[in-house]
Chain A
C-alpha cells in the first residue's frame, strides 16, 4: 500500500538511544524472570557446582592429569558443562514455551523490535554462564588449592562465556522446532550425552578410544579444549581448529533458527 496517500501522519523511526534502552530493559526483564524461577536458577547454577564439588573437591582433590592439577582441570570442563547448560536451557526452553503458549505473539503485536527478544535471551544466558564460572573459580580457589592469576581467570572466563554463544544459537534452533513441554526433555537428551562424550564429566583421556575420536565432531569438546588450553592442559591441538568448528557450528544453528523464525513469520506474514 502506498504510504504517500495515507491520510495519517507518518511517525519517524525510533531514535537509537531509545532502541538501546529497549534492548537493555528487555534483557533485564528476561534475567529477572529467570533468576526468580528458583527451580531454574538453582539447577542451572547448582548442577555444574555439585559435579565439581563431588568429582573435584571430594573424590580426586589431590590427583593430577598430565601434570595439571585435577581441581584446575575440572574447572575448565565443568565450566564448559555449566555454560552449555545455561545457554541451551536459557534460550530453548523459554522460546519454545513462549512460542507455543502465545506470549511471543503478544510481544510481536507490540512495537518491540523483534531482535530485542532474542538478544535478551542470549544476554540472560551469558549472565548465568558468568555466574556459574565465577562460582567454580571461587570453589576451586577456596577449597581445591587452585591457583589462577587474575589475567588467567579473565582469559578462562571470557573463553567460556564467548564459547557459550554457539550453544545459545543451538538453543534458539531447538526452541523453534520443539513444543513448549517437550523442549526441556529434548535439551536433556542432547545435553547430557554430548557432555559425557566430549569429556566434560570424565577427562577425555579416560574415555574409550572410540569415544575419544567421536568427541572431535562434538562442539562441547572443542570448547572444553579451548578452556583447558588456557590453563595449560588438554590435547594441545591448534586452537584455530577449535574456534573454526565452533564458528561453523554457530552458523549452522543460526541458519536453522532462522528457518524456524521464517516459518513462524510465514505463518504470520507469508
Chain B
C-alpha cells in the first residue's frame, strides 16, 4: 500500500503559480493520500473549491475534507437572500477504498499577540482497505510554538488512548426499537486502536513533539517503541531520523524535516520503504511517500 502526505500550500508552488493539476500529478500512484492546507473560497486562490477540484482531478478516489478554519464568505442579495459560503482551510484524505467513517478534530489553540496562528485540523478516517480497516489521521500542527504544539499532541494522544473505548461513528446494537434505518443492517463500524498519523507536524526530531509521539531517545536503547505509541516510518524503512528534510530554503537557512508518517508501534514491521519526493515543485513542502504491507 502506497501512502503519501503532502502539505500543498493551497497549490502555490515554488514558482509562485497556483496549480492544482501539478499537485494531482505529484500524487499519481498513491493508494492513500493525506493533504494539508487545502483552501475553499479564498481570494488568494480565486474563490475556488479546492477539495471539489482535486476530487475531479483524481476521480478514482473516495475523499473527505476537514476544515478547522471556517469563516464567513457569504454574500447577501438586495432581496435579502443569502448566498451562503464559508472560507475554509484544512486537511483532506483521499483513498482508493471507501472511507468508512470520518471525524474532524479542531485542535486546541492558544491565542497570542505577536504571531499569526489559526485553528488547526486533524482529520481522522477509517479506510476499508483489502487488508482490513485502517485508521488514518491527516494532521497539521501549529507552526508558531512548541507550547501550542505540545497541547495539540497531548490532545491527539489522549484521543488515541481513548480510541478502544470510544469506538467508531456509531456503536452498540444495530437497531433502535426495531428500526434498522440507522445502522442500515450493518454491524458497528470498527475503530482499530492502531493508527497511522501523517502530516505536517511543524517540528523536528530534536523537539519534544517527536519525543512524545515516538518515545524519548534513551542512552542504551535509543527510541523505545511503546505499544501505545508510534514509530517513525522513515526510520522503520532504514533511514536516520535526522535525514529526510521536507522543506527546503534558499540561501543559508537550513532545510527542515517537518512532514512525517508515524505508524502505531505494532505496524512498524509493515513498513517496507519511505522516500521524500525532492523534485515536486507544487508547494513549499515536499511530499513524503511510505510503502507498507499491512
| A, B in one complex | no
> Which chain A residues have a beta carbon within 8 Å of chain B's beta carbons?
none
> Which chain B residues have a beta carbon within 8 Å of chain A's beta carbons?
none
